[in-house]
Structure 1
Amino acid sequence: GEGGTFEYAVAGDVCEIRYLPQYTTRLAERVEAALASLLQLTRWSTGEQLQASGISFSHPALADPDRYQQLLGVPVEFEAAHNSLRISAAALSLPLIYANPALCQHLRTLADQLLEQLGSQSLSASVRDLLRQHPRWGKEKVAEQMAMSGRHLIRKLSEEGTSFKLLRDSLLQGMAEQSLKEGSKLFDIADKLGFSDESAFAKAFKRWTGMTPAQFRAQI
């Protein structure tokens, strides 16, 4: 059917979010609408903290190029190699100001249930099981345990529509939230999950949930 997918690539200090359309009619207009919407969403969800460095379209300009830049507020390139939005790689760590921890937990529970339904054939489920037992393990250690290379693990997880980072972050967040509910000390949680110190854990937790560990505990 019609639609499109997004993928991203990080090179140095720049993250490029590419849009891969599958439209068959009015392609240019719909690509422009998709990327313009993405631009506005990144601004809204971060409280205007995220400032894109540019937008690229693979098609020629449909109107005055200056008008595009005036409306979008960023440099615009046409007849480019990709339809994409460029942002700073550092912006990937910005918290979402409208984060909803309750909804996030609900969706994570649903996702976990779906992963369990996939059964033993799911590599994602196997990775989660290993990380649940060994949360400090990194990609290479997990790959070694599963008798494959790190690159092969990445490729197979990509085929399942996920990544090692997404799986590990999701699992660590769930374990962190449970530990906080149980009253564990931050030092112990950070050590258990493989963080260098409490500060590193607190930063990761705020990136995941939009809250500090203290704020999370206060709402329990």
Structure 2
Amino acid sequence: MRHIFEHTWLDQRIDRSQSLFAHAAHINYRSFGAISLASMTLGSCENSLLFCAKNFLTPWSAVPELNRQGSISLLHIPKFYDPELRATLEHFHFVNCFAVSRSHTPGGPIAHRVRFTRSCGISKTTLERFFGCPVYFGEGIAQIDFTRQWLNQATPALDAELAPVAGQHARRILAQGPPKTLSLFQLFKANLATIHSADDMAQMLGVSRRTLTRTLARQGASYSILSREVRLTEACRMLRNGETTALIAEHLGFSDERSFRRAFRSWSGDSPAEYRRGQRHFLQPLVQ
């Protein structure tokens, strides 16, 4: 995947915005595949979004989360460690998400704001023009904060040719359930309470520690990097949701709050309290 993006995106000779938006211009709910088409049978944009987030097999996890405005935020959580590729895929994911959304609900506001962990060389002005809402860089977690107005919209009726095909896809996908293969990132996140060392993780996978080290090295990571990234992402998510530092420390496997606060500062450069204060403007009630 990195090889593909190095030639289509990371090459400095390529205009990234032109490449990305030209690709998105050809995307709609029909061309995006069986899952996207199946989601059109579920009645509302909210149901369609939740269905796609659960069933698409991608290099990231699309995690829907109820926010304090009574709406839904879609979080982009990586399944691997690769900071540059992570930011690239955030842009790719969100632009495509908007392109599909606009293809069946044109004209209305889709989101209140879009956040990225870092810039990919496309100006904020260009992105805001495309998304139709404020864009932020330097966030701990990339996410889209959808408007309740868009989520409540009904998905349009499919024509007589597409409706039975979409229905067949929906029944098949719902019967088989979501993909069950977990990346090392996902495995770690799902087992934070029991993985406290590289030996713990190797034992869970049924491999030697040496094999685990080699596997992570091929991904440009190590156990310590993976542990930091998983715990930082989860800590940021919980802090924004108003969880106490005591609960977060326990969830992440720290012996006490002081240890968690010290680790969080070393990871992010801010204390948990400073990070939470920096999120306050995102938690204010939104004008509908």
- Under a length normalisation based on structure 2, what TM-score does the superposition of the two structures give? 0.35
Q: Which has the higher contact order (CA 8 A, sep 6+)?
A: 2
TM-score of the superposed pair, with normalisation by structure 1: 0.44
